[in-house]
């Protein structure tokens, strides 16, 4: 039955496929049937590759039938956010400026998925250049929340989280610069992991904020997130900001996933949790009770500089973006204006026509922060505040194994609710942004529902390169609860 098939997680499906009990072709067909039935409503995908995916699936099935060994994701249909380069299809970043861009190479994570025998079925929608918290800034299409079509899926990886929540794939990759995996994961009721900065290669990820961007998995379960990490983590010579094996060796994230952390010490930040909506606070305190029952000790920590994170983040991220997006010049690739008066207008008009409003706004903000006379007051100041924020985490982790917080102050908000006020949209990133500034890993796991049956996420933050521990802590919670087994119904 295709429906039962779609309810499987990656690990189950991979085992069934490897054992020859389920064909990858069946799973891939089931996914495309689901896409054909529901994606006109959800809008998760910018592009899909049915023929290519079915051919790949058949290839895996044949390999298995022939008794050959297969990869960690053998035959599992997965999706990739459309800011990761693929030689097949376009890589648009949900921007008109890249609408027809065909990358000449695959991102390292795409190569790794293919090497693990995954079946890549499509590229998912996002806020243009990953700038946004609702996927409403996509220049190409609209994505809705599979739990409630009048609400946003979160963002910027809203296409990836909606695809997983809507059973339009078994797992997906997203990218997280200020919460872009964790916040939409929370809004869509799925698991989303932002690894440590430098853990996963960013080669072939279209750059937004280069000191903050990180690729990570979106899955139904924590175990699947560990499985995905086994595939994508590791040093890459093509990305000099990916951390080498000497500094931080990767490990088998699945090996101990079911082993609880002994003498677990969890920290909470009372002053910040108080800022969340009541149902979110309630879900958080229920989650704390779950950990207490497991024997965890709960301690309180203070993050005196957390309140400045959004300010510092929006200066640093936009400064980096203004520099990164200077490459869209209408000359080398991407959109070019039809009738430039002179060569300067090739730049100014191509960019004005190709970029959406939020992207323009951020380029402007970043350019201002870096401009002569303002650099010290805005950019340099932000880098100093960033150091203070990292210091808050360093002190906190001396007293605990992890910090838990809400992922977002609210559940999924209504489409259009925050589009007129950029600052209001930025403030919805309050709980996630600090992890990017400090470079540490964070995960969102389903931990409840509000009165409108909208999912709530629990955020767990751990020290740099402690993904192994982070996943185990998250798994301890998941084992005791069944929030992650709830599925959105789109009919």
Partner 1 sequence: MSEKIDQAQVKKVAMLSRLDLTDSEVAEFTTQLSAILEYVEKMNTLDTENVQPLAHCLPITNCFRDDVVKESLGTEKVLANAPQRDEEFFKVPKILDDNSGA
Active site residues: 81, 156, 180
Q: How far is the CB of 337 from partner 1 (least distance, A)?
A: 9
Q: Which lies closer to partner 1 via its Cβ, residue 71 or residue 132?
A: 132
Instruction: Print burial letters for 177-207: b (CB count within 10 Å at least 16), e (below 16).
Output: bbbbbbbbbbbbbbbbbbbbbbbbbbbbbbb
| 67 vs 104 by CB, closer to partner 1 | 104
Please state the closest distance from residue 141 (CB atom) to partner 1, in A. Answer: 22
> Dihedral of the CA atoms 51, 54, 55, 56 (nearest 10)?
120
Contacts with 1 (C-beta within 8 Å, 6 or more apart), sequence order:
none
Query: Closest CB to partner 1 among 149 and 364?
Result: 364
Question: Minimum CB separation from partner 1 for residue 363, in Å?
Answer: 5
Smallest distance, Å, CB 151 to partner 1? 24
- Supply the minimum distance, in Å, between the C-beta of residue 376 and partner 1: 10
Q: Which CB atom, from 151 or from 351, has the smaller least distance to partner 1?
A: 351
> Which structure tokens are listed for 138?
């996509």
Q: What are phi and psi of 371, to 5 degrees?
A: -80, 155
Cβ 98 to partner 1 shortest distance, Å:
9
Q: Provide the minimum distance between the beta carbon of 422 and partner 1 in the complex, in angstroms, as a whole number.
A: 6
Q: Given the complex with partner 1, which of 426 and 477 has the nearer CB atom? A: 426
Instruction: Return the number of other C-beta atoms located less than 10 Å from residue 391's C-beta.
Output: 14
User: Is the Cβ of residue 81 or residue 351 nearer to partner 1 in the bound state?
Assistant: 351
CA-wise closest residue to 228 among 45, 16, 72, 441: 72
Closer Cβ to partner 1, 75 or 439, answer by number? 439
């Amino acid at each position: 039955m295709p429906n039962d098939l779609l309810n499987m997680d990656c690990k189950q499906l991979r085992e069934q496929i490897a054992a020859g009990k389920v064909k990858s072709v069946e799973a891939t067909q089931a996914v495309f049937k689901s896409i054909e039935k529901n994606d006109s409503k959800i809008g998760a995908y910018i592009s899909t590759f049915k023929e290519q995916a079915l051919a790949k699936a058949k290839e895996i099935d044949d390999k298995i039938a022939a008794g050959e060994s297969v990869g960690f994701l053998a035959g599992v249909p997965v999706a990739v956010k459309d800011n990761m380069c693929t030689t097949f299809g376009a890589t648009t970043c949900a921007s008109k400026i890249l609408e027809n861009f065909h990358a000449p190479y695959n991102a390292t994570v795409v190569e790794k998925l293919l090497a693990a025998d995954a079946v890549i079925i499509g590229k998912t929608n996002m806020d243009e250049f990953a700038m946004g918290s609702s996927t409403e800034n996509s220049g190409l299409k609209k994505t809705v929340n599979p739990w409630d079509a009048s609400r946003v899926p979160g963002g910027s990886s809203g296409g990836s989280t909606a695809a997983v929540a809507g059973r339009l794939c078994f797992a997906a990759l997203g990218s997280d610069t200020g919460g872009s995996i964790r916040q939409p994961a929370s809004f869509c009721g799925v698991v989303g992991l932002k690894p440590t900065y430098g853990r996963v290669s960013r080669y072939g990820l279209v750059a937004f904020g280069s000191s903050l961007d990180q690729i990570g998995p979106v899955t139904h379960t924590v175990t699947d997130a560990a499985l995905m990490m086994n595939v994508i983590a590791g040093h890459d010579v093509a990305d000099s900001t990916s951390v080498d094996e000497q500094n931080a060796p990767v490990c088998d994230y699945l090996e101990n996933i079911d082993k609880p952390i002994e003498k677990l010490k969890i920290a909470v930040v009372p002053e910040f949790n108080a800022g969340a909506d009541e149902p979110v606070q309630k879900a958080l305190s229920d989650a704390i009770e779950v950990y207490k029952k497991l024997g965890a000790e709960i301690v309180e920590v203070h993050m005196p500089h957390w309140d400045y994170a959004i300010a510092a983040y929006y200066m640093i991220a936009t400064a980096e973006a203004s520099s990164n997006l200077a490459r869209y010049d209408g000359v080398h690739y991407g959109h070019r204006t039809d009738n430039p008066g002179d060569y300067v207008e090739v730049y100014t008009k191509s960019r004005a026509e190709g970029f959406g409003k939020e992207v323009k706004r951020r380029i402007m903000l970043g350019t201002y922060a870096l401009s002569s006379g303002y650099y010290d007051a805005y950019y340099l100041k932000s880098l100093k505040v960033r150091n203070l924020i990292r210091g808050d985490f360093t002190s906190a982790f001396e007293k605990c194994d992890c910090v838990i917080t809400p992922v977002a102050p609210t559940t999924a908000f209504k489409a259009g609710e925050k589009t007129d006020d950029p600052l209001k949209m930025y403030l919805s990133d309050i709980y996630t942004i600090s992890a990017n500034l400090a470079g540490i890993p964070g995960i969102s796991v389903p931990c409840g529902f509000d009165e409108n049956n909208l999912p709530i996420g629990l955020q767990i933050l751990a020290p740099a390169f402690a993904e192994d521990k982070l996943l185990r802590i998250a798994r301890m919670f998941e084992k005791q609860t069944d929030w992650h087994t709830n599925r959105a119904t789109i009919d």
